[in-house]
Structure 1
Amino acid sequence: MRVTGTLITLVGVALVGMHAQAGPVKEETRSVSMEGAERLVMEGDFGAGSFRIRPRHIDNAAEIRLEYSPDEVRYDIDFDRRRDEGHLSLSCEQRDGHYGDDSENMWRIDLSDKYPTDLDLEVGAGDIDFDFGGIPITSMALKTGASSGDIDFSAPNPGRMKAMEVKIGAASLALHHLGNAHFDELRFTCGAASTDLDLTGQVSGESEVYIKVGMGALDVYLPKGIPVRVETDNGLFSSVDIDDLHLERIHKDVYESPDFSEAKDRMILHVKVGMGTVDFSRR
């Protein structure tokens, strides 16, 4: 144990030394035109840093503000029109031998709410503050590593999202108002994470949610007044708590709200847990 402590101390000293040699921080602003495209496909591959996305009623695809250290961070912003689609690619990574903190790689992205949008985002290690409220998202894939922060749908999706996929690694994240996302299907996976999955909002139609938890702890919040069916698959070293939902047991590991069968707006949840915990409640 003493050897481990020594190693951690030495690594910490090395990182402090590297940080002390960081270069100056540069600020840049980029406006990304749609170039006549009618829908947006956006891909983001972000390493370590601080990342914020906000909806904004603008003609451009996005307005992007960056604060970064050119000596430590390499980034790329690329836009390509393909027929009626505009493809926006964003990426950043640490240069070899450099380790910066959040203040040296900050992205502030205003994303247009005027165009149908497909999103594919991956964040390695960083602070996340994403709000997709009011953006007409048609599909979404989000993957995080050792990240923390919040993901919100503060306003209803004006369209319909066919597929939404969220994969969370060793993170501490809170997802808010996903009922506003208006998805047909959500596939949510978390590993060794502590996560809030808030499915409240203006639920419309039938939504199906697949939840898979490894060794994490997940709190799931369901909207009041929306009938649900919960199907559970958990092992000996895991738990799923649905007591607060007051559901009827239909058959083994399947539970429903009394008015589920007749409901137009409803949720179906499939829950699979390895060695973690999932707790359900209403909001």
Structure 2
Amino acid sequence: MVMTVIKSLITKVVRGFSFVKAGERIEEIKTITADEARRLKVNIQMGVGKLNIAGGSKEWMDGTFLYRENKLVPLLSYTLQDDQGIISLQQKSNSLKRRGGSEWDLNLTNELPVELQIETGASSSSLDLSGTQIKKVDIQTGVGNLELDLSGDWQESFQVNLECGVGDTTIHLPEGIGVRIETAQGLGKIKADGLTYHGDSLVNKAYGDSEVTIDIDANMGVGGLTFKSG
């Protein structure tokens, strides 16, 4: 059974009215309402702009989207397949130059396990996943900085895969939970205060002692990679 449940609310501009001019800035709120799903898979593709993600949504996901009228339009869809809800969000561009970018502020539910897949082009991303129930994270970036917050009291182990092109990446790590990191560094430096080498991997003090482990595989291009604990 496939079911689509999308609730949208435009807060500042109502589409179709004559006062909306081409190229004008639009703020739009979209919500994926909670249903009988027991787990979520979230796929996000953003070409140009700024992406912010955090937890705390009372639904499966809600987001505020800023973009230019008829340019870089966010396309959001949801399907329920068995017990898995699948959220797809991508950026449609009707402009070859794609000037001005856009900004997406998203909140995910803290109530369901989430597999998160993100692909960005020329974008800056701030992802605060503390408090969510992440099962797996796959992030691929082109050009832009990435800040990923993995701090928090995680109850289950999970894998993080990073493929970063050009830009600086900062990852905040939890205390009291084991972390193991494998890196392939291109042109840039790694700052890993509080981490030590265990074979070819970087690990924190809790690695090997805690029941929960976060495994991070980070492949970097051009830019710095910084790990911060606490």
Q: TM-score range by the shorter chain?
A: 0.7 to 0.9
Give the superposition deviation at 1:33.
1.6
**Map of 2:153 onto structure 1:** 156
Distance 1:272 1:49, change over 3 A: closer
Contact 2:120–2:142 under 8 Å retained in 1? yes
Give the superposition deviation at 1:27.
1.2
Give the superposition deviation at 1:215.
1.9
Contact 2:183–2:218 under 8 Å retained in 1? yes
**Are 2:198 and 1:229 aligned?**
yes
Contact 1:134–1:158 under 8 Å retained in 2? no
Please, which runs of 5 or more residues in structure 2 have no aligned partner?
Answer: 1-20
**Are 2:79 and 1:80 aligned?**
yes
Contact 1:64–1:108 under 8 Å retained in 2? yes
Aligned match for 1:213, one of 180, 185, 188: 185
**Are 2:118 and 1:127 aligned?**
no
- For the aligned residue pairs, the C-alpha RMSD in angstroms reads 3.7
Matched residue type, 2:48 = A
Identity of aligned residues (%): 17
**Map of 1:253 onto structure 2:** none
3-state SS of 1:30 partner: strand
Distance 1:95 1:157, change over 3 A: farther
**Map of 1:45 onto structure 2:** 45
Give the superposition deviation at 1:22.
7.1
Give the superposition deviation at 1:26.
1.1
Give the superposition deviation at 1:272.
9.6
Distance 1:155 1:22, change over 3 A: farther
Separation of aligned partners in 1, 2:226 and 2:127:
24
Please, which runs of 5 or more residues in structure 1 have no aligned partner?
Answer: 1-20, 181-200, 233-241, 243-255
Separation of aligned partners in 2, 1:73 and 1:270:
31
3-state SS of 1:97 partner: coil
Distance 1:159 1:116, change over 3 A: same
Matches within 5 A, 1:87-166: 87-102=86-101, 105-161=102-158, 163-166=159-162
Matched residue type, 1:164 = V
Give the superposition deviation at 1:279.
9.2
Separation of aligned partners in 1, 2:75 and 2:225:
39
Contact 2:170–2:227 under 8 Å retained in 1? no
Q: Does 1 or 2 have the higher relative contact order (CA < 8 Å, sep 6+)?
A: 2
Would you tell me which structure has more helix in proportion to its own residues?
1
Give the superposition deviation at 1:281.
9.7
Contact 2:61–2:109 under 8 Å retained in 1? yes
Distance 1:170 1:132, change over 3 A: same
Separation of aligned partners in 2, 1:274 and 1:127:
16
**Map of 1:196 onto structure 2:** none
Distance 1:270 1:173, change over 3 A: closer
Distance 1:275 1:82, change over 3 A: closer
Separation of aligned partners in 1, 2:169 and 2:23:
31
TM-score by length of 2: 0.75
Separation of aligned partners in 1, 2:97 and 2:219:
40
Distance 1:170 1:281, change over 3 A: closer
TM-score by length of 1: 0.62
**Per-residue Cα deviation, 1:146-192 (whole angstroms, up to 9, x for no partner):** 0114211242333321x220111011221112xx3xxxxxxxxxxxx
**Per-residue Cα deviation, 1:47-105 (whole angstroms, up to 9, x for no partner):** 100111111052x1101111111232132100000011000001114323232224xx1
**Are 2:173 and 1:202 aligned?**
no
